[in-house]
Amino acid sequence: MKPEIYAQNNPSLTEREIKHRDLAREICAEGIVLLENNGVLPLTAKKAALYGAGARHTVFGGTGSGENNPRYNVNIEEGLKNANIEITSEAWLDEYDDLYERELALYKKNLKKAMRRVPLMQHMDYAADNPFYLPAGRPVTKDDSTGADVAVYVLARQAGEGADRKDIPGDYYATEDEISLMRSITQNYKDTILVLNVGAVIDLSFLDDISFSAVILLMQGGMESGNALADILTGKVNPSGRLADTWGYKYEDYPSSDTFSERNPEMHQEDYREGIFVGYRWFDKKGIKPRYKFGYGLSYTSFETEADYCANRGTKISVNVRVTNTGNMAGKEVSMLYLSCPENRIIREKRSLVAFSKTMLLEPGKKDYLTLSFDLKYFAAFDNDNHRFILEKGEYLVYLNDTPLLVLELDEYAVTEKTDPISLSDRKIDYIIHDKSERDIPSDIRHCKIKASEISCITHKYAVPEFEKTAEIDLVVSGLTHKDMSKLLVGRTYLGPFRHRVFGAVGYTTSKLFHKGIDAMPMADGPQGLNLTQISAKPRHNLFAVPTLPEALRHVHKISKLGAASDKTKEQELFYQYCTSWPSETVVAQTWSVYHARLLGNAVAKEMLEYGVVFWLAPALNIHRNPLCGRNYEYYSEDPVLTGIIASRVIRGVHEEYGCYPTIKHFAANNLETKRNVSSSNLDERTLREIYLRAFRIAIETAHPEAVMCSYNKINGIYTALNYDLQTKILRNEWGFDGIVMTDWFATGHHESLDELCCKAGTDLIMPGLPHIPWKIMKACKKGLISKEDIERSARRIVKLSLMSHLNRSNR
């Protein structure tokens, strides 16, 4: 079978690249958050000193599936120079480069030596758990500080797949060398700007002693990070990003700080003792003042926000908001609605986000009119004892930002949704919140009455889902044996055969049934855009040439990206795949812009069409439960509503191009990386449904993605890929999902004797699959462990998507 190749033969910059580059820059700037500013910003100076690891070695994204390989990345020094700012500290930066190269070479040497004692299959986890920490660089002296009155210091951090971050200096905490450097900068310059080039929350206690003129949260902004930051610093763009997480004063402020990941005395048991109280819910409930609260962000201008009109039709609430730019510079503002619920029998959060909207760019004195809406039914509490969602009798207080706006009075208790019980472990979890909140209900704002008798209740039908049946699907399936179908349930990865060749693709559905009318479907990581190989020749079938290996580990094994061109392949025909490196998902969430989320999704889909990718393994919807999760940069927020709404708009953007499939992941309660393959997330049903499933539900019910990827972990002792309650009862029976569920890569390898049971649970596709698994599926069927119907049900779902794929000739 001769593979079809979609990559370009010409390395020239394309119009699509230019357009997407500009959009990446715009989204990054939209998501940058201004945390502090004494008036030094926007900059008027044309000269600046630049220091720190992130100045030239800017961190554009995380490692693992979130990596990208764009044509170029713009670091912070380059971005400032592009903005015509003269850098006066190049001697210090050159000196730092020498230090960086020496430290990196020593790290690689030591890593290679250590790998000799580590089993081959554990190399990736070992490398992730022992990362390269960026050196700080020497302190600044008076001799360094000539030529500029303003200095920019870039504090950089890296993290990624396979291991969680650590609460140590150089990671969550600043090192003594970094603190010395920061102190020397503030002592030698009149104005100083701290740029946080990080993937997630870090400790900022050094700000209590070291005073910067301004603090900016860049995070990891993708390929245009440097240019986007320069746009903010110079005032070309007015910062409008708002935090998607709560930044505490200290790590111990977070509820899971004493038991998360490596701090847990039971390494394979992660008890969610905080329940629903994650992020700002915890800080509000415990009365802990954060350094920067969820939704916080400054602007170069000022705004006045007023509610023009608010009304309800039953449980549906609508608020019209007027936002006026009262300052002297054009800018954007975010409006948020929060809900505070009565606490009778069930303890609730003090308030939670229910809706948000962002204005267009407003010139000084101009107004924008926003409509924020939500349905009270969707914010019912889950009653663990009776397996149903309920609204308790009482007063529901709606806030516009921090201002009480409206009281909804529910006359009686109401049930909004009834569910079947799901499997829970017998493990006792000692929850740490037992107190109700004190509330002050204003009497001088509007009160609306809601009758419980008018609230309808959803009652689900729980059954094995019906077969996907259309004339075209039936025709294809009629030509398949159950042995054929078992092959369809097992994907392929870096080894062929390939019907379609996408260089650097992380997986494919099988090509072995192409002669029977089922086309293969290539898959590509990841949440920051398509993770493909830039320049490729005819691929070498090297199992370890994995696109997501950390650069240092590729050095240890002396391998490169899969199919990448080398000196030995210069005479061969070369192929080019230049994809966009978008801002990390947290930066996208910090835009609070559904408009930009949709544009991003559509741009990714255009690249999928260009390079032959059918499944984009993104967006990732896991919740920021703890700041140390190694992949927080790859997820949106600590809040499920912000996460779900932004993700749904990204998915809708993808769907604007026919036959491109977003794959939401990691389903579910995947909130740590260390020992992720064996760890059990232990939590009650209420916590699971209200926090860790809610974003997935929003995305599925409002945007209808075609695929879901399981997580590696167990939930209450059951691996997610084998969890019928999760993959069938909740996902399909309750939410109406009609796509395919796939495993994460080699997830079933950690319980290999059970991977043949996936289809019975509702997990259709084993990725990337091993050659013997179809045989195991057929053997399990003969033993009666699974049925032929289980196999065919999953096969039909895969056939349906294959027929609808943009690669299917019949649909062109």
- Residue 363: CB atoms within 10 A of its CB come to 11
CA distances to 176, 558, 782 from 486, rounded to whole Å, are 57, 36, 13
d(CA 572, CA 568): 9
Taking 50 as the pLDDT cut, the residues of the chain under it are 541-548, 559-560, 562, 810-812
Token pair 């559904």 is found at: 594
Q: Where are the beta strands (DSSP E) in 627-706?
A: 661-667, 680-682
| pLDDT per residue as tens digits for the range 131-186 | 888 999 999 999 888 889 899 999 999 988 889 999 999 999 999 999 999 999 99
The pLDDT, as a whole number, for residue 639 is 98
Closest CA to 239 of 384, 35, 398, 416: 35
Under DSSP, the state recorded for 118 is S
What residues contact 165, with CB distance under 8 A and at least 6 apart? 159, 171, 172, 200, 627, 628, 629, 630
In the 3-class helix/strand/coil scheme, how is 73-97 assigned residue by residue?
A: CCCHHHHHHHCCCEECCHHHHHHHH
In the 3-class helix/strand/coil scheme, how is 721-788 assigned residue by residue?
A: HHCHHHHHHHHHHHCCCCCEEECCCCHHHHHHHHHHHHHHHCCCEECCCCCCHHHHHHHHHHCCCCCH
- What is the edge-to-edge ordering of all strands in the sheet holding 414-418? 381-383, 388-391, 414-418, 458-459
What's the predicted TM-score (pTM) here? 0.95
Token pair 């370890």 is found at: 544
d(CA 281, CA 272): 14
> What one-letter code names the amino acid at 662?
P
The pLDDT, as a whole number, for residue 544 is 36
The pLDDT, as a whole number, for residue 2 is 79
Q: Where are the beta strands (DSSP E) in 421-474?
A: 446-450, 458-459
The pLDDT, as a whole number, for residue 812 is 44
Strands 507-508 and 458-459: unpaired
**Burial profile 379-415: b = 16 or more Cβ within 10 angstroms, e = fewer:** bbbbbeeeebbbbbebebbbbbeeebbbbbebeeebb
d(CA 228, CA 58): 13
How many CA atoms, within 13 angstroms, populate the side-chain half-sphere of residue 195? Answer: 32
How many CA atoms, within 13 angstroms, populate the side-chain half-sphere of residue 471? Answer: 0
d(CA 446, CA 405): 7
The pLDDT, as a whole number, for residue 739 is 97
Cβ–Cβ < 8 Å for 100, 135: yes
d(CA 561, CA 689): 39
Q: Considering the chain, what is the average pLDDT of its residues?
A: 92
d(CA 427, CA 424): 8
The pLDDT, as a whole number, for residue 132 is 86
d(CA 197, CA 158): 9
Cβ–Cβ < 8 Å for 646, 594: yes
What's the angle, vertex CA 283, arms to CA 279 and CA 289, rounded to 5? 125
* Tokens at 703, concatenated: 């945007």
Closest CA to 634 of 722, 740, 711, 719: 711
